[in-house]
A and B are shown apart, each in its own frame.
Chain A
Amino acid sequence: EIVLTQSPATLSLSPGERATLSCRASQSVSSYLAWYQQKPGQAPRLLIYEASNRATGIPARFSGSGSGTDFTLTISSLEPEDFAVYYCQQRTNWPLTFGGGTKVEIK
């Protein structure tokens, strides 16, 4: 099973600041990595697929990068609605796995 480790667990930032979230895989997942955003009481939402492609309707301030085992989700300038939990997920091998999540909270 591919283990995805996300860091940091919590990121405390102010609106307008840049957020950098990391996801590291225990073995290569090529570019088959996605990022999701989840707000309290809501279902997750797909942000990024295949490491760097924004899903439909996702603002340009969200960007993804990386390949192999190291991936980054960047939010260039945090908006109030961006404070949430973010998960990475791989689809290279079964079972599909998610990272443990990074909570982006208001400082």
Chain B
Amino acid sequence: QVQLAESGGAVVQPGGSLRLSCAASGFMFDSYGMHWVRQAPGKGLEWVAFIRYDGTNRYYAESVKGRFTVSRDNSKNTLYLQMNSLRAEDTAVYYCGKDGGSGFDYWGQGTPVSVSS
């Protein structure tokens, strides 16, 4: 069965960096686009970034553009999110999601990121 497992969340100081990972299994990872979505405490969902199945196209929310980089290693079935220049407003649970072609058909359980001094 499809499984997505995020890791790498931590408490980090403002201005710091963090790299999140999402390990995928149960499907042909190199055939699907992948997303990152976040949810601040008590708030709604915010789409963060997308990478095409082959890594050739990437899109970002304006709020993270220039600070976050999405990448993938298809040989390791792993998705990444490099987060630099972190701000308090980046505090959230970060989910990876598989793009099923018409929606996010599978989600991980999320990894929490807290940006605080």
Contact = CB atoms under 8 A, between A and B. Distances in A.
Interface of A: 1, 32, 34, 36, 38, 42-46, 49-50, 53, 55-56, 87, 89, 91, 94-101
B61 A43 contact: no
B105 A55 contact: yes
A43 B47 CA distance: 14
A31 to B, nearest CB: 10
Contact of B102 (A53, A95, A100): A53
Contacts, number: 62
Interface of B: 35, 37, 44-47, 50, 59-62, 95, 100, 102-105, 107-110
Main secondary structure of the interface of B (DSSP, over half): strand
A45 B104 CA distance: 8
B107 A98 contact: no
Contacts of A32: 102
Interface of A is mostly: loop
Given A44-B104, A91-B103, 20 more contacts: A34-B102, A34-B103, A36-B104, A43-B95, A44-B37, A44-B95, A46-B100, A46-B103, A46-B105, A49-B100, A49-B103, A49-B105, A50-B102, A56-B105, A89-B45, A94-B50, A94-B59, A95-B61, A96-B35, A97-B47
A53 B83 CA distance: 35
A50 B103 CA distance: 8
A104 to B, nearest CB: 15
A96 B48 CA distance: 9
Nearest to A96: B47
Nearest to A48: B103
B44 A89 contact: no
A48 to B, nearest CB: 8
B47 A98 contact: yes
A62 B45 CA distance: 21
A72 to B, nearest CB: 17
